[in-house]
Structure 1
Amino acid sequence: MGQQVLNAIFIGSIYALFAVGYTLVFGVLDILNLAHSAVFMLGAAVAYSLVVNYNQSFAVACVGGILACVVMGLVIEFVCLRPLRRRRAPPIAALISTIGLALIIVAAVEQGRPGSLFAWLWTDGANSVRFPPDIVPNPTWSVGGLTLEAVKVAIVPVSLLLMLVLGYVIRFTQFGRGLRAVAENPRAASLMGLDVDRMIMLTVVLSSALGGIAAR
């Protein structure tokens, strides 16, 4: 029972980090970005491909996966969200637009077979895959009948640290104040000199980057 509780804490930390990125857009800007999970998946797929197919280190794979998520964040903003804002489309339009992008991302990754446009992702198709066990040193300890793996133990403080840093940024920095102003009243924020489009773009990119970090 104790081991299951520990596993739940470890997995919950990953979900919490994923949710922070999602909430940053939905909870703060009130934009429902349903492509966030697909961005998370793409970051993991790119990192896996860099390690397994291109023999890169885990650190390089992490950076590559996060950069892929950042690029997708820019795609979400410039393709799915900003054109709709310019047309003053209703909120449901962003929901439908991001669902469409999510379906495209998932389909593209699933079609990563030899001879296809995304063949560089997989060697034998998008099957159930996992990182080779020796990529990251992962010592294991036994404490009170519980098994602790170093990688899983590290997830909890890293997630907490990132959430605390994000909370500080939102509450106490100029960017955070600008973001909250845009969330409260975009028109008033614009009249006060804030670049609303830039603030939303940075928020979506940051959200996608957090999804990429969670995918690691």
Structure 2
Amino acid sequence: MEFFSQSLAEALSMILSMDQKLYAIIWLSLYVSFFATLFAAILGVPAGFGLAVASFKGKRAVITLVNTLLALPTVVIGLFAYAFLSRSGSLGFLGWLYTPKAIIIGQVILILPWVISLTLTAVSRIDLRYRRTALTLGATAFFASLAVLREARFGILAAVIAAFGRAIAEIGIAMMLGGNIKGFTRTMTTAMALEHNKGEFVLAVALGLVLLLVSLGMNILLQLAQGRYGERV
């Protein structure tokens, strides 16, 4: 217990002193997770909306596939992405392996099904007669779709927040595609694993505290978004 208390005190001191090494790792984690979430939202929100409003043969199978991908292990994603980004892979000429770009790609693959599935759920809770009424009143398909998205915006926001939380907490993809390179691709989760293996717990505890604070902030935003969304519907 004394060991934990001492490590916790030193970790708090490191956070409050704005330790450069600590905040460089935090910044990289936030950077890659933010852009991964941004790209996943750009791709996933329209895809989820399309699944919700469109009628086509095989729609149920597509939704089942998306929901199945929610449980896709990060090491599997890392393995397949590595195969494409390695020198012998089809995208090896880009030279992105063991760079932040590779981590972003892996995280996009990881959280894209989450954005699609949760957007689908949010839009499905909106009465689609709202869209049909807008079309009847002369709105174009684009503006009718925007009207539905506006009604579902809190649910979609919840989807994006949940996806960000999933991305920033993962470790397998960051380790396999980033390589845990000091000052370049070392994220909070990979740094915590490294420090644990070295038997040096102060930095790991400090990063763990920051990660918990980030997760807490994301969950507070998620609860607020879900609460407002629930009031709307």
Tell me, yes or no, whether TM beats 0.5.
Answer: no
**Larger RCO (CA within 8 A; separation ≥ 6):** 1
Larger proportion of helix: 2
* TM-score normalised to structure 2 length: 0.29
Which entry has the higher C-alpha Rg, 1 or 2?
2
